Every structure is written in C-alpha cells, then in structure tokens.
Amino acid sequence: MKMSLGTIAIGLSSLAGCLAILVFNGYAQQPPSASPAEHVDYNWQIRPILSDNCYRCHGPDAKSRQAGLRLDQQESAYEQAIVPGKPQESEMIRRISSKDAAYRMPPPAASAKPLTDAEVATLTEWVKQGAEYKPHWAFITPIKAPLPQTTLTSRVVNAIDRFIFARLEKEGLKPSSEADKETLINRVTLSLTGLPPTLPEVDAFLADKSPNAYEKVVDRLLASPAYGEHMAAYWANISRYSESDGFLDDHHDRLFWPYRDWVISAFNRNMPFNQFATWQLAGDLLPNATKEQRLATAFLRVGKRTTENGAIDEEYRVEYALDRANVVGEGFLALTTGCARCHDHKYDPIAQKDYYSLSGFFNSADEPGFFAPGFSTIQGGPTLPWTDKVTDEKIAAAEAALRTAESAYSAAREAANGDAIARVGALLKQPSSEVAGAVQKSLDAATVAYYPFETTAPIPDDQLPKSRARRGQKPPADLVSPFRGRDPNGPPPDVDAVRAAREFGQRLPNSMIRENLTFSPSGLPGGEPAVLEEANLRPGGAQGNALFFTDTNRGFLGKSVGFYDRTQPFSFDLWVYAASVYENSQVLNHRDDDNSGGAGYKLNLEKNHLSFFMMHSWPYNMLHVVSKEPVPTKQWTHVSITYDGSSRAAGLHLYVNGKPAEVDVEHDHLTESSLPRSYAAAFNEFVGVEFGRRFREVTMKDGGIDEIRFFNRALTPIEVSYLHQGTRAVETQRAKLTEEMAELMTANDSRVVEAGKSLYVAREAQNQAVSWVPEVMVMADAPKPRQTYVLSRGLYNVRLDSVDPAPLTQVFPFDPKVPKNRIGLAQWLFDPNNPLVSRVFVNRMWQQLLGKGIVETSDDFGMQGSRPTQPELLDWLAVDFIESGWDIKRLNKMIVMSATFRQSSDVTDEIVKRDPNNVLYARGPRMRMSAEQVRDNALAVSGLLVKTIGGPSVYPYQSDGVWVLGVTPYRYPKPEELSPDEQHRRSLYSFVKRNTPPPSMSVFDFSERHGTIARRLTSNTPLQALVLLDDPQYLEAYRALATKVLKEKADKDDQIKLVFRLATRRMPNEAEMAELRKYYEQELARFDGERKKAEELVHVGVAPVDSAVDVVRMAALTNVAAAVMNTPDAYSIH
C-alpha cells in the first residue's frame, strides 16, 4: 500500500510541482510533534523515537545491551538516565542534546540516523512533563471506550462511524457522501466475495427502493458460498497454503485440498474464530477428536518440508517446529517472533528463550525432518486417511471380517492348545533326541532361506542383478500428480507390476561394480544365492566363515527372501558380531530407500541396543522396539526376531541368545502396508534384504554377521532356543519345556495352520483396503514428548538451556492451570484478556475491506510496527468481536454496513491535500484488486468462471517451460490436456508451486507461500500490463465476453454498453462511448479486410469458439472488451 500511495506523489509532483502534497505525504505516519503545551504521550510519541534509535543497545536484547541500561523499562531508565521532571539532570537528555560527538547519543559513528532537533525537543518535553512510561499499547488488554459524540448523527450507521466521524470533525473534515448504488454493490460484492456482482444483481439492487436494500445485499453475500472461498483465499496467506514441498526439490504431490475445503466450509458456516483456530492448532488433542478436527490440524503441516538428500534430519525437524512458532507469532499475534531465533528480540519483549518455549508446543510432532517425496506414495509423519463413504464402508467390512477371522483363529488355537497339553506329556516321555527331532522338523518346515556365508562363487553374466527403471529413463505418464485423477476407490496398484517394474533396466542396482560382485550360495537346495560386493568372508564366524564389514562392502539376499508385509507372520535369526559400540549402524535392512518412502523393516544396533523397526512411514506409522540391554562387543551374539502378523508391538519378540529380550516399545502404531514399494524410487532401488554399506546408513565397521535364516511363521520360544543352542534347548529347560513344547505343537496343529491362513487372507484384505487411500498430513505428537532447547544462533545442534512449552509470557501471562500443550496454547491465545489476538484479526478484516489496516503494519503490532490511526475504534472492535463470540460474519457485516465503508471513494482536492493516504477515512476505499481477484474477475465477467467449490487443485494456463525448472519428474499439463472446467476455476483452486509461483499472479503481488504473509504490498510493474494484454487466460476471457455480448445485443452501441457494464458494472458516459464507438468501428473495418487475423485473434484458450457468431465482429468486440478490461476501473475496487 505504501508503495502505490507513494507513487502518487511522484506523478503529481512532476506534473504540477505541487510540493505541498509531499509535505502531507507522511501525514499520520508520523505522530504530530509536541508543542510545549501539549501532553506528550509515551506510546504515541516517545516509544517510536526510543525504539528506532535507542533499543538496539538499550532495549530488550540482553546480549547487545550497553552499560546495563534499558530505556524500554522505567526502572532501569530512572535509575541511570532519566530524572522525571528534570531534563537538565537527566543523563539521557544531556547526551542526546550534546554537541560533543564523543559524548553524544546515539553515537554518531554507529547510527545512520542522528536524532532530529524535533525528536530531541519531544524527548526533553516528555522528561519535563514527568517521563511517564506506559506499556506498549498493543500489550494492554483492550477496553471499549465510550462511543464518541458526533454531530453527524444522521449519517451514523453503527459504532464505527461514531469513531470515524468524531475524528474527522476534530480534523475539520467531512465524510464523503454515500457512493452511488452501482458503485456500492460493486464494491461490497467484490469485497465480501472476491467476485463482481452480476448485472441482474446490480439491477435488482438499483430497483430495490426499500430502506434496507443494501443490508439485504450484504446478507445475501455473507450467505453465498463465494464468501467462504474469498475468506479461504485470505487465510491461505496466513496458513502458507501450498501443496508443494518448497526447499530444493519442491515436490508437489501432497494432498491438502481437503484442508483447504474445510477452511472454506468453516468460514461459510461462520465457525467462531476461536474454534476455527483451536481446531487448526490442537484439533487432534481435543477429547474424542473427530475426523474434521484432525483435518483442521493440517494447518500445522502445510508448511515446507525437505527431501534434499544431504539434509540432516534433526536440522529440518527443528526448522518445522520453528516455522510453526513463526506462524503462531505472525498469524495470530502479528509479532515478528522469528527475530528471536538467534537472540532476544531487539524491540519486543520476546526473549530467545520465549521463542524456543513457543516452538516447544510443536517440537514433539511425530514427523521426520527428511521426507520421502510424495510420489513414493508414502506421506511421512501423522496422516489422516482421506476416504469417502464407499471406501469407509469397504474398510469397515474388511475390518469386521478381520475380527471374525481373529476370533476363529483364537478359537482354533484354544482347541489346539488344549489337545497339545493333553498330548505333550507323551512326547516328553520320549528320549530328548526325539523331542529335539520334533523341534528340528518343525523348524525345517518353516525355513525358507539360509545363508551360511561359507563360500563365494562367480556370477554368470546372465544372472547379474538388474536395476529397475531409473528416473529419467521413462517417467510414468501419470506423474503429473498421483492425486490427479487417481480414484481412491479404484484398485490398488498392481503389486506384481510393481515387482516387474523393478526388473526393468540393464544397469546394476545402486551403481554396483561388476568386478566386485560375487554370489554366496544359499544353504538350502535350490535357494537363491546372496550377492556380495567386495565379499569379505573369513574365518572366525559363529560357524566357520562369516561376513565381516569394511567401510564399503555390502550385499543382499535373494530378492524374494524376507519380502513380507505387516500382515504376514515371519521370523529370522542370525549371529551378530559387534566390534565396538556403534552409535547407530544397520544390521539387516529390508526397506525401500528413504527417498522412496523407506517402507519395510530393519534391524539396527543403536549404541549396540537391538533396535527393530517395521514401518509404513517413519516415525509415525510403525512398530519400533529397542532392547533394554545392549549386545556385548567382540563376541558373537545370536539374535532372533519373531513376528505374528498382528501389526502390534506385542506381536513382535526379540530374542538374544535364545532368550526373550526385554524391550522398550517406542512406537506401536502400524496401520498400513509395510511392504517396500520401490516402483517409485527416485534414487536407489530396493534389492532385498541388505547389509553393509547403504545410502544414508552407517555400516557396522569391523563387525560381522553369520548364519542368517528366514522362517515363514512366528517361531515359538523353544524353536528360537533350539536355533541358539541346538539339542541342549530340550535337555536343559525341563521346567518350561512342557509349556513350550505344547506351544510348538499348537503352532503346527492343522486347525491353527488353516485358521492362520484365513486370518492372513482377512488381514491382507484389510491391508489392501486401508493402505492405498490418499492421506492428508495432519498433526499428532510423538508417544514420548521431546525436550526443547534454546538453540545458539538458531543452530539445531548447538543446544543451550532446556525449556518447557510456553507461549510469549512477557506479552501475556500463561495461566499455570492450562495444559502445557497445544490446547493450552490455544486457550492462551483466545483468553479474552489476551491483548493481541482479537485486535490483530479485526485489523486484518479491516485491511481486507478498507485496503489497509487501522494498524497499517497488520503483520507487526510490536514496537516497530505502525501505530493505530484510530486506536479507540480498533479496541472497540476487538472487544466487541470477543463479546460476540468471535463472530466473523458479524464483524464483516458491521464494517461493510458502516457509513464509513459506504462513502464515495472519489478523491477530492481537499482530501488529497489533507489526507492523501486516507487514514482518516473521509472517503471510501480504493484499491487494486488482489492477484486472485484480478483473474477471478476476468473469468466472472466473461461468463467463463466455473463455480464448482472445492476438490483437487487445478492447473490453469501456464506457458511452456515456466514450471519445469526442477528435478522433479512433473510437468505442467498443456492446456489442451485440461478440461475448460479446470482452466476456469477460481484462483484459490489454482495449484501453487512454492518455488515457481504462477508468474501471472506473482506480478500482482501474490503472496509467497514460504511462511505467513499477513500483508501484501501493492506494486506497479509493466509486467502487469503484459499479463492483462497478452496472457491467454485473459485473451480468452475477452473473447468470451465479446461473444456473450454479441449473442445478446444486435445494436453496436448496445454491445459496447453491455461490454462496458459487464466489465465495470456501470454505464459508460458519453465521452467513453465516443472513444469506444470509434475504436469498435476501426477494428471492424480492419478485421473485415483481414478475416484471417480475426480468426487468429479469437482462437485462443480452450473454450470453444462460437461459430454462430461472425468472426469479424467477434474479433473487433474482443479488442473493445480488452481495452475496457485493461482500464483501471475494471481491475480495482473503488
């Protein structure tokens, strides 16, 4: 706003040398300087001077504070620098007025701006009057002042007008008359809905002579769905809404439109602001949180996320927590909290500690820092499955069937176990070799793979492992976005095709080196050999040779080995040799590469504790258990893992040397397929059970593994013990042997086996039903809260003090009774005494409707922000908003109903002279439309606008090459690939790619979506003219507008009038008619001679050209429409 108003001055001053305007340009930006008789107010006159000039060294930031002096606090100032009432005795006054450069403050060398004489005089007068300090206005809880008296009572509609008119009278100004009805309906419709009124709407209003005709229009607009869309477009600036990742790769396949649609619906339902915000900040924590409440928390997840390979997980996890603190700070409090990331805030009472405490509310988000790209079909962190009714029913049916199968399985086990207990005594009477034989037989039947790592063998060329298709070879045609056109209720991706795709390609996987590859044969007849790179088999294993790890060697088992989903019971065992204590090294890994989502399972040594993961996505959707005891170093340890297919941590058992290991359950939430899905792999491919060197994993240097076996069911304890110590297992464990052998017999009972097969089928059916539905990223905290630290200079790894979650307590205290979680944060924000939240919101609604806020810096209510031009009005509105129950529609209605809003916006000489920036509101608002409105307006007046509400984002026109800047295998669809319906939706449905925002919108100051933007600048650039003149989106709209008019009107004058009226909602005057008539005739004549040119001109866009309309007239009137639509009245609100 500042920019555009500033430009006035240049244009006019160059024109008429009217310097008087310049003098007034800063009106009300600057406080009036104190004449000696006047009371000097700390908030309005003194603080701005001190904040701008002194606080950097004598303010809130403890680190940069000089001489221990704070001028922002009365106590410190009185102690050292100010003697109230006595300027001559005040060190501060002596210093600022000194002629001695060495003594003077601010130090001339350090300050670009010395204090002006007027500023020195004001400060001196303030000290003389007693140097009264007051808290910063924005940190004092607002109260409703009595409504001011005004003599203009006949014009007053509501409280707003009393404040505005009283001030105008004080300034000797008069409000402008009410705008004419055409202007009024145009303004209020654009302001409340973002769209222009239709001509029938205009005509109806003109015809309605009832006294409440205007109010009826307002009520209709507030009730129209377009209102919620317009408000949602506003909220997208606060929520930094975008469906792409930002950062390096800027992948763009995240499902967030259900959240955007929720925002639209919440505004349309007039959800109270406190509820609207609370759901977004803490919906997941509300008692019995509904799907809708959880969906709202996407607000916290819609920020950026990195998929850059070298990204350090913790660094970015911290970044996301801080991003959320910034959104709360800037979005709700209009405070530049981010400034306190590296140091105490220089101006506002936000210590660095406070900032990190605020981020503490978000620091336990159960999400990673490094994300897999969305096209992996894995959404990292907490998600909300986005299902429709049909899918929900399908899932419910699958789950009911699963419960039935589970009961049947339990019953079969019970029966089998009863029989086993009856029979086990007989078996145990046999010699122990017989008992051992039974265990061995049971194990043999279950064994599916065995690798003794004794020998190697050369790999014949035709048996070399092959890479699947790599990025760049043949990107699948549907990679525009997996959510575009994907039917959530359609069949899941074909897993066999997925496997087959993996076979595609000729390269060795993971850039392996041919010469370094060998087989290590399977210990089972016909078993697939393992592949080793730089095989390092040597003696000293658990049995014979073993595989030892250097820095670089690696390998993988046969590809089909261990390929288990969460639904399938399985077990494996191996011997592990830890040469030292490993910070976090992989033992076995059966997962996709992290870039492909990382689904699968893995066994790690974390400080030598056994750490087993089975995951759909890390860290939210997975099972994770860690042994309480570490494995010893420099000796072979037998490790077994058994899993029963239940998707629960309780179904997962770790054994060390044959005995159950005690574990800590870190995560117990696995609800979707844990099968690697590497068809979408971006970098490396899934090759099977891997060990040794692996991208982003640390190898077990100098350690080793030996004797790996896989089993196709959950082994029983006696079997595990037997694997560890052989027949001794049945010789030495007499006490538990009865029970354990019964368990073994139960597991092998044919009834149990059959029921197990049915159970697997039911589990798999449920798995398929739930695993492939799209998911929205939402908020949820990790099972164990994370400690938050103050970070030195904001660096993730330089931790200072630990802090608990807390809001900005120096701004407003935190009730100790409120929970220290996001619900507590919301309660703090919406405490009726919180001085900021209501003020900030009403000010932004004022900004939205009047063009700029009562506080112009609607993004900064801190000390450095601008001061309210009508403070009592702001406070009155803020309190009233709270008293109304945070009723947003009521607030908007009050503003647009006010006589203030309804004034004519024409600029008179007196207004130009007295108040060029219209801070006193002696006239109505006048502003360029927002980026969204400019486009939506053109679509609406041309009749092209498709009014469908919600749904997946669309990809309107964009020139070739604009979007394809990145590594991601997406492309912008060509216009002809899109239906006109997609091209002509409102702009809030246009897909926004963070790193490549739509150029036609950017030039109109569309907000970047990297963080919260509460206020857009308004700039002027010739690129705006190029868009409105030549962008096909607009050319098509002009042609559609002309076509519509030609079909309605036969007379040329009528055609011009209708074009003009549709474009501006007013009638052209005679002078305008004359210009347009001349131009229309000229273009008709020209195109008549050049029909081909006419054809070319009208063939633009995707909406069909109406062949019933004469192309010459269409082309000529298209240009007339273009001319009118390019005049300022057609893209401004006035």
Partner 1 sequence: MKQIDANRLKTALARRAFLKTGSGLGALALAELMGGTRLLGQAPSSAGGVMLKSNGVLKELHFAPRAKRVIRIHMIGAVSQVDSFDYKPMLEKMHGEQLPASIRGKGRLSTMSAAQSSFPIVKPISPFSQHGQSGAWVSDLFPYTAKIVDDLCFIKTLRTDHVNHDPAAKFLHTGFQLAGRPPEGAWVAYAIGSENQNLPAFVAFTSGTFGGVSHDASNWGSGFLPSQYQGVPFRAGKDPVLYVSNPNGMDMQDRRGMLDVIGKLSEKQHEISDDPEIPAKISQYEMAYRMMTSVPEVADISKEPDRILDMYGPDVRKAGTFARNCLLARRLAERDVRFISVMHVGWDHHTNIMQRHPPDCLMVDQPSAALVADLKQRGLLKDTLVMWGSEFGRTSFAQGPIDSNVGRDHHGNNFTWWLAGGGVKPGFSHGETDDFSYNAVTPSVEIHDAHATMLHILGIDHERLTYRSQGRDFRLTDVAGRLVKEILA
Taking residues 451 to 490 in sequence order and writing x for each that binds partner 1 by CB under 8 A, - otherwise, the string is ----------------------------------------
Six-digit token pair at 715? 């082994």
Window 109 to 128, contacts with partner 1 (CB under 8 A):
112
19-38 footprint of partner 1 as x/- string (CB under 8 A):
---x--x-------------
CB of 320 to partner 1, least distance (A): 12
Interaction residues for partner 1, span 687-746 (CB under 8 A): 693, 695-699, 701
CB of 1120 to partner 1, least distance (A): 8
What the block records as the tokens of 942 is 């041309």
Which of 783, 914, 1079, 1110 is close enough to bind partner 1 by CB under 8 A? 1079
Smallest distance from partner 1 to CB 1044, Å: 19
Contacts of 1050 by beta carbon, 8 Å cutoff, 6+ apart: none
What b/e readout covers 845-855, taking b as 16+ CB neighbours within 10 angstroms? bbbbbbbbbbb
Nearer to partner 1, 249 or 672 (CB): 249
Q: Which residues of 344-366 are buried (b: 16+ CB within 10 A; e: fewer)?
A: bbbbbbbbbbbbbbbbbbbbbbb
Per-residue HEC secondary structure of 830-876 comes to: CCCCCCCHHHHHHHHHHHHHHCCCCCCCCCCCCCCCCCCCCHHHHHH
Name, in order, each residue with C-beta under 8 angstroms of 549's C-beta and a sequence gap of 6 or more: 536, 691, 692, 699, 700, 701, 702, 703, 704
Supply the minimum distance, in Å, between the C-beta of residue 391 and partner 1: 35
Q: Pick between residue 728 and residue 1015 the one whose CB is nearest to partner 1.
A: 1015
Start-to-end Cα distance in the chain: 15
Q: Which is nearer to partner 1, 15 or 67 (CB)?
A: 15
Q: Considering the rule CB under 8 A, would residue 865 count as an interface residue with partner 1?
A: yes
Token representation of residue 378: 């894995």
Strand partners, 383: 777
Distance in angstroms (rounded) separating the CA atoms of residues 952 and 950: 7
Q: What whole-number distance in Å separates Cα of residue 680 and Cα of residue 595? A: 9
**Cis bond upstream, residue 676 (ω within 30):** no
- Considering the complex, what minimum distance in angstroms separates the CB of residue 974 from partner 1? 14
Residue in 236, 745, 863, 891 binding partner 1, rule: CB under 8 A: 863
Q: Is 906 in the site for partner 1 (CB under 8 A)?
A: yes
User: Residue 370 interacts with partner 1 (CB under 8 A)?
Assistant: yes
Q: Name residues contacting partner 1, limited to 966-1025 (CB under 8 A).
A: 966-968, 994-997, 999-1000, 1002-1005, 1008, 1010-1011, 1017-1025
Q: Map the footprint of partner 1 across residues 238-257, applying CB under 8 A.
A: 246-250
960 binds partner 1 per the rule CB under 8 A: yes
Q: Round to whole Å and give the CA distance between 854 and 864.
A: 15
Q: Report d(CA 311, CA 315) in Å as an integer.
A: 8
531's CB contacts (< 8 A; 6+ apart) are: 459, 465, 517, 518, 519, 520, 555, 556, 687
Q: Which helix (H) or strand (E) holds 530?
A: strand 530-533
Among 916, 925, 950, 952, binds partner 1 (CB under 8 A): 916
Structure tokens at 1087: 């195109």
Residue with Cβ nearer partner 1 (97 or 111): 111
Which pairs from 883-887 meet CB under 8 Å and 24+ separation? 885/272, 886/272, 886/273, 886/274, 886/275, 886/830, 886/838, 887/270, 887/272
Q: Which of residues 808-827 bind partner 1 (CB under 8 A)?
A: none
Closer residue to partner 1 (CB): 489 or 516: 516
Residue 864 binds partner 1, judged by CB under 8 A: yes
Q: At what angle do helices 734-748 and 432-446 cross, to 10 degrees?
A: 40
Least Cα distance to 61 among 343, 341, 335 occurs for: 343
Residue 853 near partner 1 by CB under 8 A:
no
Which CB, 336 or 568, lies closer to partner 1?
336
Q: Is 376 in the site for partner 1 (CB under 8 A)?
A: no
Footprint of partner 1 on residues 285-314 (CB under 8 A)? 306, 308-313
By beta-carbon proximity to partner 1, the closer residue of 220 and 1015 is: 1015
CB 1044, CB 31: distance < 8 Å: no
Cβ 351 vs Cβ 60: under 8 Å: yes
Which amino acid does the sequence have at 282? A
Cα radius of gyration rounded to whole Å, the chain: 36
Residue 1089 contacts partner 1 per CB under 8 A? no
1095-1124 positions binding partner 1, by CB under 8 A: 1095-1100, 1115, 1119, 1122-1124
Distance in Å, CB of 349 to partner 1, minimum: 14
Residue among 389 and 1092 whose Cβ is closer to partner 1: 1092
Q: How many CA atoms lie within 13 A of 944 on its CB side?
A: 32
Which stretch, 143-151, 569-577, 672-680, 1093-1101, contacts partner 1 (CB under 8 A)?
1093-1101
Listed in sequence order, the DSSP H helices in 81-158 are 91-96, 117-128
Alpha helices in 726-783 (DSSP H): 728-732, 734-748, 750-771
Q: Which of 837, 903, 836, 829 is nearest to 176 (CA)?
A: 903
Q: Is 552 in the site for partner 1 (CB under 8 A)?
A: yes
Q: Does 868 bind partner 1 (CB under 8 A)?
A: no
Stretches 478-486, 776-784, 870-878, 1087-1095: which one binds partner 1 (CB under 8 A)? 1087-1095
Q: Are 159 and 880 in contact (CB under 8 A)?
A: yes
| Residue 1082 near partner 1 by CB under 8 A | yes
Among 53, 522, 905, 930, binds partner 1 (CB under 8 A): 905
- Nearest approach, Cβ of residue 865 and partner 1 (Å): 6
The minimum distance between CB 1104 and partner 1, in angstroms, equals 17
Residues within window 192-211 making contact with partner 1, judged by CB under 8 A: none
Site size for partner 1 (CB under 8 A) = 129
In 3D, which of 292, 268, 414 has the Cα closest to residue 888? 268
As measured in angstroms, the least distance from the Cβ of 959 to partner 1 is 6
Give the range of 7-15, 874-882, 932-940, 1102-1110 binding partner 1 by CB under 8 A: 7-15
If one asks whether residue 753 binds partner 1 (CB under 8 A), the answer comes out as no
Minimum gap (Å) between residue 550 Cβ and partner 1: 8
Query: How far apart, in whole angstroms, are the C-alpha atoms of residue 963 and residue 943?
Result: 28
Q: Which is nearer to partner 1, 475 or 726 (CB)?
A: 475
Residue 965 touches partner 1, criterion: CB under 8 A: yes
Q: Which of residues 1019-1058 bind partner 1 (CB under 8 A)?
A: 1019-1027, 1029-1032, 1035
Query: Among positive and negative, which fits the CA dihedral 417, 422, 425, 428?
Result: negative
Q: Minimal distance in Å, beta carbon 437 to partner 1?
A: 46
- The CB-of-309 to partner 1 minimum distance in angstroms stands at 6
Strands (E), 271-423: 383-385
Q: Does 390 bind partner 1 (CB under 8 A)?
A: no
Q: Which residue lies nearer to partner 1 by CB, 33 or 725?
A: 33
**Residue 3 is a binding residue for partner 1 (CB under 8 A):** yes
**Min. distance of Cβ 850 from partner 1 in angstroms?**
16
- Determine if 350 is a binding residue for partner 1 (CB under 8 A): no
CA distances to 724, 899, 923 from 177, in Å = 94, 9, 8
Residues 485-544 that bind partner 1 (CB under 8 A): 511, 513, 516
User: Cβ atoms within 10 A of the Cβ of 959, count?
Assistant: 12
Residue with tokens 């229009």: 217
Least distance in angstroms from the C-beta of 912 to partner 1: 7
- 318, two tokens: 């911290």
